[in-house]
Every structure is written in C-alpha cells, then in structure tokens.
C-alpha cells in the first residue's frame, strides 16, 4: 500500500527533525487493536518524546482516543478487546503479562473528556491517588494537594474552600481539578482525552496555558478535535484516519507542509 510507505518514512520524530535530539518516553510498536471482530487500530507505530506535547488529530471515530487509552490500558475494561503489537514506556512492554496494570497507571495519568471529579471535597479529590498509593500522613497529603493544585493553576481559586464539594466548581475549574488529581501521583506521562471539548474559550485558553507549563515536568499526549488547539499547544502531531496513523511529525511541518494528501485535505477542511 502506498500509504504505508509514507507512514514508514514518518515513523520516527528523530527522522523528521534530525537536528533536535529527543529522548523517547513512549514507543508504540506495530499496535493493532480489535473490538471483537472490528479492527479499530491498524498497525500503528510511533514514538512519543519526553517532556513534549504530542497531539492526535483526526475525524470522529478514527481511533485516536482508542490509541490514547492503550497507553494506560484503559481499554482493558472494555469487553472483547484484543491487542497485537506492543507499547514500551521507558523500555518496558506494558502489555507484558508481568506488568501490574495499577503500577502502569501510577506512571501514566489521565484526564478525561468530561470532567469527572469524585463527589467528594476538593481536598479528597486530589488526595485520592496518593491515598490509594498508601499515603496517610495528613501533613504529607496537605503538601501534595497544595503542590498539585498549584501545578494545575487552581490553588489561588480554591485554597479557602478545600473541604467543600468539588462539584460546586465551574466546568473549567473541575477540569483543572482533574489535572491536579492526575499529577498528584507524579506520573511520567499525562494522557488528555479532549480535555477542553466541554469548556468555553476562556477556560480552554487557561488549560492550554497550563499544558505548556506542565510539559516541563510531564510528557503530555493529547487527543483533540480542534486543529487550532493542536497547532497552538503541541510539539508533535499525529493525524489519524480510520484506525491508521496517516502522518506523524513536528506540528509546524505537519500543518504547513503535509506530505500526505489525506492530511492536507483534512487540515484544509475539505473533509472531516
């Protein structure tokens, strides 16, 4: 297939930007995924560099969320899912039988499309992850909560009402709380599944700002519908279509000089 030749050429970000030396965080290697009989991801291979924002774009149903959820194995929860190939994070194959999925998720945090705070206080929401990991000391927890909320640029807004219900926060605040909750356990990778799709432009701008700050400490992988968003925040972008990774490269190049016709059609708005 002609497309596969192009794909092979685009596999490695290092091949694209030979001048920049990136260290790799996540390596996806010939990953295919089936929902029952249906093939949802077709032989996807790519590398995600450390401390960068990597975005997946593509039309609805192209498999970008599925790919994202493979990285912390959230797809395991769905009945009838089967994967081929493997994903390595820091050199370990996360689909290896010896891998404890809870250990994996400690290293790979996730923020969801719809903000989903627990029906608990703001404090308890952020402290949830550390508590699960067995941390009990009140002062330690308080430190982590403050640090995480500051990290998510939420501290100033909620510091005086930490023990009120998280559900009283606005949509944007809730989403930043979810980010704080995810970084409270200090993961290596932060997955974000369309984190701004339910937010207004101002809240979206704040989260985008936040992502640019967070990438100094975390490797961020984001799925988005919004091509402008991908262009604004990401360093690398992958375009997906019908379960295939059509093109993957440095964001600026992908948007200004796409090498695949389908990418060009999509980003110029001819379909999708």
Partner 1 sequence: MSTRLAKTWRGGEPFIWLTGGALALALLLVAGLIGLILYNGLGFFWPKSVVRLTLTDGKAMTGQVVEREPVPGKVGEYRIKLKVANRDLYGADFQWLDESQIARRSYPPEIAVVERTEWGLLVGELAEVREGDTVVAKGPEAAWAEVRKRMPEAARLRSEIRGIETGEIGAINYEQEALRLRAKRLERKGVTAGPETDAIARELAALHARYKTQEARLTDLRKQQGASVVVTADGGKEKVLPLPQVLDVYFPNAMGGPAKAWHYATRLWEFVSAEPRESNTEGGVFPAIFGTVMMVVIMSILVTPLGVLAAFYLREYAKQGPFVSAVRIAVNNLAGVPSIVFGVFGVGFFIYFVGGSIDRLFYADALPTPTYGTGGILWASLTLALLTVPVVIVATEEGLAAIPRGMREASLALSATKLETTLRVVLPAVMPSILTGLILAMARAAGEVAPLMITGVVKLAPSLPIDGFWPFLHLDRKFMHLGFHIYDVGFQSPNVDAARPMVFATTLLLLAIVVLLNLFAIGTRNRLRRKYATSAI
CB of residue 167 to partner 1, shortest distance in Å: 6
Exposure on the CB side of residue 14, measured as CA atoms within 13 A: 9
Per-residue interface string for the shown chain with partner 1, residues 149-168, x marking contact by CB under 8 A: ----------------x-x-
35 binds partner 1, rule: CB under 8 A: no
Which of the ranges 31-39, 88-96, 110-118, 149-157 carries the binding residues for partner 1, by CB under 8 A? 110-118
Of positions 181, 206, 215, 232, contacts partner 1 by CB under 8 A: 181
Which of the ranges 118-126, 215-223, 226-234, 253-261 carries the binding residues for partner 1, by CB under 8 A? 118-126
Which of the ranges 21-29, 45-53, 174-182, 205-213 carries the binding residues for partner 1, by CB under 8 A? 174-182
* Apex 109 CA angle, 73 and 251, nearest 5: 90
Helix H, strand E, coil C: the string for 212-266 is: HHHCCCCEEEEECCCHHHHHHHCCEEEEEECCEEEEEEEHHHHHHCCCCHHHHHH
CB of residue 135 to partner 1, shortest distance in Å: 12
Cα 223 from Cα 64, distance rounded (Å): 7
CA distance to 19, 107, 135, 141, per residue, from 131 (Å): 43, 15, 5, 8
Of positions 8, 9, 61, 114, contacts partner 1 by CB under 8 A: 114
Cα 199 from Cα 114, distance rounded (Å): 9
4: tokens are: 């596969």
Cα 250 from Cα 109, distance rounded (Å): 24
Of positions 62, 110, 221, 230, contacts partner 1 by CB under 8 A: 110
159: tokens are: 């510091």
Of positions 46, 162, 178, 241, contacts partner 1 by CB under 8 A: 178
Q: Name residues contacting partner 1, limited to 199-238 (CB under 8 A).
A: none
21: tokens are: 């030396």
Burial 172-206 (b: 16+ CB within 10 A, else e): bbbbbbbbbbbbbbbbbbbbbbbbbeebeeebbeb
106 binds partner 1, rule: CB under 8 A: yes
128 binds partner 1, rule: CB under 8 A: yes
CB of residue 111 to partner 1, shortest distance in Å: 9
- Of 177 and 254, CB closest to partner 1: 177
Phi-psi category of residue 152: left, alpha or beta, with phi > 0 → left and psi -120 to 50 → alpha? alpha
CB of residue 82 to partner 1, shortest distance in Å: 17
What's the DSSP call for residue 159?
G
Q: Which residue carries 């490695």 as its tokens?
A: 12
Of positions 116, 137, 159, 170, contacts partner 1 by CB under 8 A: 116
Of positions 83, 112, 186, 217, contacts partner 1 by CB under 8 A: 112
Q: Given the rule CB under 8 A, which residues bind partner 1?
A: 72, 74, 77, 102-106, 109-110, 112, 114, 116-120, 128-129, 132-133, 165, 167, 178, 181-182, 185
């Amino acid at each position: 297939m002609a497309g596969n030749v192009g794909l092979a050429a685009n596999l490695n970000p290092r091949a694209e930007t030979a001048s920049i030396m990136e260290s790799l965080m996540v390596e996806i290697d010939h990953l295919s995924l089936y929902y029952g009989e249906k093939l949802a991801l077709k032989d996807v291979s790519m590398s995600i560099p450390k401390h960068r924002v990597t975005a997946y774009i593509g039309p609805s149903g192209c498999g970008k969320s599925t790919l994202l959820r493979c990285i912390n194995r959230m797809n395991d929860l769905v009945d009838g899912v089967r994967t081929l190939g493997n994903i390595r994070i820091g050199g370990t194959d996360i689909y290896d039988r010896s891998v404890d999925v809870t250990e994996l998720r400690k290293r790979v945090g996730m923020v969801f499309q719809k903000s989903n705070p627990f029906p608990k206080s703001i404090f308890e929401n952020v402290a949830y992850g550390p508590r699960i990991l067995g941390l009990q000391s009140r002062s330690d927890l308080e430190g982590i909560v403050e640090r995480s909320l500051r990290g998510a640029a939420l501290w100033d807004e909620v510091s005086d009402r930490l023990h009120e219900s998280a559900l009283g926060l606005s949509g944007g605040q809730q989403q930043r709380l979810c980010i704080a909750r995810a970084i409270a356990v200090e993961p290596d990778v932060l997955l974000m599944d369309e984190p701004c799709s339910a937010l207004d432009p101002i809240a979206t701008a704040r989260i985008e700002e936040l992502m640019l700050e967070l990438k100094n400490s975390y490797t961020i992988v984001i799925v988005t519908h919004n091509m402008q968003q991908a262009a604004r925040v990401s360093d690398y972008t992958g375009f997906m279509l019908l379960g295939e990774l059509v093109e993957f490269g440095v964001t600026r190049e992908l948007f200004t000089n796409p090498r695949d016709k389908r990418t060009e059609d999509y980003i110029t708005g001819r379909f999708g």
